[in-house]
Amino acid sequence: MPNAVPMQGARGLPQPQAMNPGLPSVGGLSAGQPLQLSLAPELQAAARSAHRHLLDDGTALYLLAFDTAQFDPGAFAAMAIARPDSIARSVRKRQAEFLFGRLAARLALQEVLGPAQAQADIAIGATRAPCWPAGSLGSISHCEDYAAAIAMAAGTRHGVGIDLERPITPAARAALLSIAIDADEAARLAKAADAQWPQDLLLTALFSAKESLFKAAYSAVGRYFDFSAARLCGIDLARQCLHLRLTETLCAQFVAGQVCEVGFARLPPDLVLTHYAW
């Protein structure tokens, strides 16, 4: 990461530089502000870039890019990020995405809880979901050598989910249509597609939107549910919002017929992001 400054003390939280006001908004997501992070030497070779984006409601989203080949597992201790046994036994890629995901979450939590409380560990829960510190809720997503996180104060929302995806390839389209998107949904996307959002990008966005909805709703639903539980019923390209109608009652807060609006956006260099909060 260019110009990264060695951190002062093992538990020092990376400090982002000041945001520039008035950033242009792109599809409900501000253009990313580059950050300079103060990192331990063990992490500097693997860290490629860091950006802070704003959702249309002002919530900050942190996106970190990293190089798995340069990742040093010693960065866990150097950055004072707990490494669960299941992660310690995993391959280098999984360890890298876990650490950078937790690092992105720390940055997001700093805005919600302050620097001291943002240092709290985010453990892996019984259902593999992150356990957020008291007073907060959030979501983490990984895609190849990228990790993103968002955090909110508890009480402002009940749940939030984000998801990062690479655009699907033509070769992967059939598999996606067989497991996550039905023919009617695909036809709606084909009709709505334009030069900025061609069909395969919209297919990616819809798949990702269902993932974000699942993450946000899981704490209330308490069980896994299928992609068919939410079907596309509308597309607003101007607002970059997908409307998903629930086909079944999942819990008291998510009932059949309810429409959930999931935001979507493109992130450079070639990522699709979706986000949903309720």
DSSP 42-100: HHHTTEEEEEEEEBTTS-EEEEEEE-GGG--TTHHHHTT----HHHHTS-HHHHHHHHH
List the domain boundaries for the chain.
5-157, 169-269
Query: What pLDDT sits at residue 268?
Result: 87
Residue 25's pLDDT band, with cuts at 50, 70 and 90, is very low
Checking if the pLDDT of 192 tops 50, the result is yes
Query: What pLDDT sits at residue 31?
Result: 84
Q: Are 266 and 253 in contact (CB under 8 A)?
A: no
Query: What pLDDT sits at residue 166?
Result: 97
Checking if the pLDDT of 23 tops 70, the result is no
Query: Does residue 141 have a known ligand-binding role?
Result: yes
Residue 2's pLDDT band, with cuts at 50, 70 and 90, is very low
The percent of residues above 90 in pLDDT, for the chain, comes to: 85
Query: Does residue 111 have a known ligand-binding role?
Result: no
Query: What pLDDT sits at residue 54?
Result: 96
Higher pLDDT, 9 or 56: 56
Query: What pLDDT sits at residue 269?
Result: 86
For residue range 139-159, what is the model confidence (pLDDT) as tens digits? 999 999 999 999 999 999 999
HSE value, Cβ hemisphere, 13 Å, CA-based, for 149: 30
For residue range 48-92, what is the model confidence (pLDDT) as tens digits? 999 999 998 899 999 999 999 999 999 999 999 999 999 999 999
The alpha carbon dihedral of 249, 254, 255, 256 has a sign of negative
Checking if the pLDDT of 17 tops 90, the result is no
Query: Does residue 102 have a known ligand-binding role?
Result: yes
Query: Does residue 56 have a known ligand-binding role?
Result: no
d(CA 267, CA 30): 10
Checking if the pLDDT of 9 tops 50, the result is no
Minimum mean pLDDT range among 21-25, 165-169, 192-196: 21-25
Query: Does residue 94 have a known ligand-binding role?
Result: yes
Checking if the pLDDT of 29 tops 80, the result is yes
Residue 126's pLDDT band, with cuts at 50, 70 and 90, is confident
Query: Does residue 243 have a known ligand-binding role?
Result: no
d(CA 177, CA 75): 40
Rounded to two decimals, what is the model's pTM? 0.90
